[in-house]
Structure 1
Amino acid sequence: MERGLVGHTLAVYFSRRFLGAILGLFALAAILIFLFDVLELLRRSSGQDGATLARIGLISLLRVPQLMEQVLPFAVLFGAITAFLALSRKLELVVARAAGVSVWQFTAPALLVGIGLGVAAVTLYNPLAVFLRTQSDEIASGLFSSEQNFLLQTTGEIWLRQDGTDGESVLHAKQTLDGGTRLLGITLFTFDRSASFSERVEAREARLEDKRWRMSDATVYSTTGDPSTHATYYVSTYLTPTEVRESIAAPESIGFWDLPRVIELSQRAGLPAYRYSLQYQTLLARPALLAAMILIAACVSLRVSRMGGVGRLILGGILAGFVLYVLSELGKDLGGAGIVPPVVAAWAPGVFGVLMGFTILLHLEDG
């Protein structure tokens, strides 16, 4: 009974150390990214109307959470390495191992922390980050003109060819919001049924309604008359919200809980849903990826305690984590193109990392 209580206390202590190190590095990275992002936004927006420090700071603050999703695996890796090394430097791991605590017992709390963070990152953090990013795009709309989409990493300028009851048209937009159902900076070229150019429409904003685009503050240039301005102008389209979203909306702009519905709608519409399926499976596999990072850190710490050469072994752990991350990005590219099934592309890096980590630990611990 007493031994079990000691083991529980030790596990809680290790868990707190790992959680503190990981969250500390995550917060430090968030602060650094926020500061650099604000400086870059201020540089790009100099001379623009409405580019106040408060507005720029709010834009950056709201978009940092989604940027940090890419940093999370490295925060877990570096945080776990930091915690393991701190425990080794204070001889706490040495004392624990001398008391009969195996590598599996002091690695288990770190694994539970990593998996728990992965679950929380997927179910809670990701939807919140997507929501905040949407608010950031709303606040930033029209602020950076032609540079905005590249700077804010949105979908970029898009072109759509569509058909409607009035004939075909080609639509160009400088920015997309609300999953592609709201467009800003519109230029539309319409053609009649004989494929002859009919008119050019320039509008501040367009919203997709039932079988039509509703354009605001539109100027119409026709081949048969003088330009005319309209507070509201309508152009018919056969495009559905699902088709527009599949064409231009980034999978990262959709939260975890909304992805299954988007995938189902895309499949019902007969559209490929590789990118959305891949994003969904990537989020589901995130706890496995974080567990792999923890195991890599554990392999480094065990080798340090036995062999020395801290710098060289830490560098090896960092390189292993980086390779694992590159493999996950390569899997995304292959899965997003439909070359590899999304499930395989998303889960393979994490599963491979976990198996590799367990294999190395078994070799180091048991020979």
Structure 2
Amino acid sequence: MKALFPSPTLAWYMARMFLLRTAAFILVLVLILQSLDLLGESGKILAAAGNTESDLWTYAAYRSPQIIQLFLPFAVLLATLVTLATLNQNSEIVIAKAAGISAHQILAPLMIAALGIAAANFVFNEALVTRGSQALRIWQDNDYRKLAGPAAAARESWVRGGDDLILAKSVSGREAAMTLHDVTVYDRRADTLVRVMTATAARPAAGGWQLENARVFDVAKGGTITSAQLFFATSVVPRQFSTTKLNANFVPLWELWPQIDEQRAAGKKVDVLEAAAWHKLSGPFSAVLMPLLGAVAAFGLARSGRLFVRAVIGMFLGFAFFVADNFMLAMGNFGNVPPVMAAWAPFLLFLLIGEAVLIRTEE
């Protein structure tokens, strides 16, 4: 059985070259993209009362981690292509193969280094980017004005039960002791609106909700009746009002899974959240795939004059992966494919493509 690293010195040499180029590319990408982003947002930030140039640095502190999260796999791809093309141009790949080192052993240091990058990216995303993204969204929703205190969470709650829609302006209590305030019920049958009921309050009852001070508008008759107490039969349960709407971008993975379980128990659809949760793993892990997709730039004689063409092919494979990844994630959000498939299918597909291209081009 061949050793993974026949030459530790060569492995460290390649890994260090790869890591330095990755760091250089992500630094350049962040500087360029952050500068362009600030050009578009600086006017809005400074237009808010009380904001100064220091708030531009605050915006950059929020936005830069998002840029790193988004473009780190691109930086890994570019670093792979430059590293392997340089080694090939200098005939170092030929020397390694002449020494009996296989193509997979040549790529192993880069893939191990990329695995470390992926792990660091995952921790960085979940520990820092999620919180910063939430703070930035709140600031943007407030038109970059300074907040006097923590932003209040929206209390308005929409819930669907079958064809019916229920709107509660505010909710207090939990389970059997829950009370909905300023309630509007849209009673629908086969997607046709039958009645609109409003009530000052609603409390859970067996098989539905008890409405207080209700007004009922009958769509077919065009008349309105009032009732001090009115029972409305529905499958909606109190737990559906106590679960808040989730944005997976704002919640770390270790907190997201329990909240997904809570949403599922409340009868809410969680396909979008599950796809986003799995993508929190597959997204950073895609960095491990980049050395394999960029390997086409490493093998083949440099003097053949096709080194640039092979580098372009490697870049095309990498960008094709990102397109497929975003496409499958969108399909998962629409519920057309299972969440696990939406997150991992592009990775597995391009893993096989990368292996096939590597075997085909190694000679």
Which TM-score applies when normalising by structure 1? 0.70
1:125, distance to aligned residue in structure 2 (A): 3.4
Q: What do residues 125-149 of structure 1 show as CA deviations (whole Å, max 9, x unaligned)?
A: 332111222333455562348xxxx
* Post-superposition offset of 1:239: 6.2
In structure 2, the residue corresponding to 1:51 is in which secondary structure?
coil
- Counterpart residue type for residue 182 of structure 2: G
Q: CA RMSD in A?
A: 3.0
Secondary structure at the residue paired with 1:100? coil
CA 1:306/1:299 → structure 2, altered by over 3 Å: closer, same or farther?
farther
| Conserved? CA contact 2:85–2:297, under 8 Å | no
Aligned residue in 1 for 2:255: 258
Query: SS in structure 2 opposite 1:167?
Result: strand
Aligned 1:138-287 pairs, distance under 5 A? 142-144=142-144, 161=158, 162-163=167-168, 165-168=180-183, 192=200, 193-194=214-215, 240-242=241-243, 244-245=244-245, 249-286=246-283
1:363 aligns with 2:360: yes
For the Cα contact (< 8 Å) 2:126–2:251, is it kept in 1? no
The alignment partner of 1:194 has SS state of strand
Q: Which has the larger radius of gyration?
A: 2
* Aligned residue number for residue 351 of structure 2: 354
Residue aligned with 2:143, SS: coil
CA shift, 1:108, in A, is 0.6
Give the structure 2 partner of residue 218 of structure 1.
none
Q: Which residue does 1:71 correspond to in 2? A: 71
Q: Does structure 2 conserve the Cα–Cα contact (< 8 Å) formed by 1:122 and 1:256?
A: no
Report how many residues are paired.
Answer: 290
Displacement, 1:332?
Answer: 0.5
Task: Select the residue among 332, 335, 351 that pairs with 2:332.
Answer: 335
The residue type paired with residue 119 of structure 1 is A
Counterpart of 1:81 in structure 2 is 81
How far did 1:160 drift? Answer: 5.3
SS state at 2:183 partner: strand
Q: Once the 2 structures are TM-superposed, how far is the Cα of residue 14 of structure 1 from its aligned partner? A: 1.0
- d(CA) in 2 for partners of 1:281 and 1:328? 12
Q: Which amino acid aligns with 2:358?
A: L
**TM-score normalised over the length of structure 2:** 0.71
Cα distance, 1:49 vs structure 2: 0.9
Q: State the shift of 1:44 in Å.
A: 2.7
What corresponds to 2:115 in structure 1? 115
Structure 1 residues 251 and 311: CA distance shift in structure 2, 3 A: same
Task: Describe the shift of the 1:5–1:262 C-alpha distance in structure 2 as closer, same or farther (beyond 3 A).
Answer: closer
Go from structure 1 to structure 2 and tell me whether the alpha carbon gap of 1:56 and 1:5 turns closer, same or farther (over 3 Å shift): closer
CA deviation after TM superposition for structure 1 residue 16, in Å: 1.0
Shift of residue 118, structure 1, vs aligned partner? 1.4
Matches of 1:131 and 1:47 in 2, distance apart? 25
Where does structure 1 lack aligned partners over 5 or more consecutive residues?
Answer: 146-156, 171-189, 197-236
Unaligned runs of 5+ in 2: 146-153, 159-166, 169-178, 186-197, 201-213, 218-237
Cα–Cα, structure 1 residues 335 and 310, in superposed 2: closer, same or farther, change >3 Å?
A: same
